[in-house]
């Protein structure tokens, strides 16, 4: 698997017998669009650098490291588990639906956030309800900007989580 150029689209779908949907041979860069609905495995020490758009269709796994300077879109019914470190200075775009919960990023290693958090709410959770949008072995940084749309959520951080609370 090589780099994904602007205008190109890569779909990662499940392999037979729950094998990874795709296995990269080295680090690579996405400047186009990647749609994940399965595991994308990277070799030890390898990184996926996302300058384009990357989204999940169902709960998906990136077995490796992630650097996001583009858009990482996690709809309300999905999540992304990353087994290596994560640095996101681009946009983390999460969906929220009261009955489905929120899209979430789960880092098994260190996660550093510094970009934009965008929240797309199709149906708001009840007052005071929380939605965990980032979990990590360790979480550092804060989002430089937020866009909550029509629901004025409160965003709080702990050493391992970023959580939204509905008004």
Tens digits of per-residue pLDDT, 69-103?
999 999 998 999 999 999 999 999 999 998 778 99
DSSP β-bridge partners for residue 68: 50, 88
**Is 72 a domain residue?**
yes
**Is 10 a domain residue?**
no
pTM exceeds 0.75 for this model:
yes
Residue 29 has pLDDT above 80, yes or no: yes
Contacts of residue 56, Cβ cutoff 8 Å, sequence gap at least 6: 35, 36, 37, 73, 74, 75, 78, 79, 80, 103
Residue 19 has pLDDT above 80, yes or no: no
**Is 74 a domain residue?**
yes
**Is 3 a domain residue?**
no
**Is 100 a domain residue?**
yes
Contacts of residue 6, Cβ cutoff 8 Å, sequence gap at least 6: 31, 32, 52
**Is 62 a domain residue?**
yes
Query: Per-residue pLDDT averaged across 121-133, rounded?
Result: 91
**Is 14 a domain residue?**
no
DSSP β-bridge partners for residue 81: 61, 106
The number of folded domains in the chain is: 1
Range of the domain at 112: 21-165
Rounded distance between C-alpha atoms, residue 26 and residue 76, angstroms: 31
Residue 140 has pLDDT above 70, yes or no: yes
Which pLDDT band holds residue 18 (cuts at 50, 70, 90)? low
Which pLDDT band holds residue 31 (cuts at 50, 70, 90)? very high
**Is 119 a domain residue?**
yes
Q: How many CA atoms are closer than 13 Å to the CA of 157, on its beta-carbon side?
A: 13
The 3-state DSSP class for residue 22 equals strand
Nearest by Cα to 32 from 18, 53, 11, 60: 53
Q: Tell me what pLDDT residue 42 has.
A: 96
């Amino acid at each position: 698997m090589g780099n994904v150029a602007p205008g190109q689209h890569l779909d990662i779908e499940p392999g037979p017998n729950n094998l990874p949907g795709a296995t990269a041979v080295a680090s690579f860069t996405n400047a186009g669009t990647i749609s994940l609905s399965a595991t994308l495995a990277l070799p030890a020490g390898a990184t996926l650098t996302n300058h384009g758009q990357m989204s999940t269709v169902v709960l998906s796994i990136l077995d490796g490291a992630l650097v996001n300077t583009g858009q990482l879109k996690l709809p309300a019914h999905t999540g992304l588990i990353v087994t290596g470190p994560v640095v996101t200075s681009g946009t983390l775009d999460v969906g929220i639906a009261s009955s489905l919960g929120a899209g979430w990023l789960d880092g098994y290693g260190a996660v550093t956030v510094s970009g934009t958090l965008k929240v797309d709410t199709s149906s708001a959770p009840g007052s005071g309800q929380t939605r965990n949008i980032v979990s990590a072995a360790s979480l550092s940084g804060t989002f430089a900007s937020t866009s909550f749309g029509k629901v004025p959520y409160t965003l709080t951080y702990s050493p391992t989580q970023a959580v939204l609370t509905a008004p």
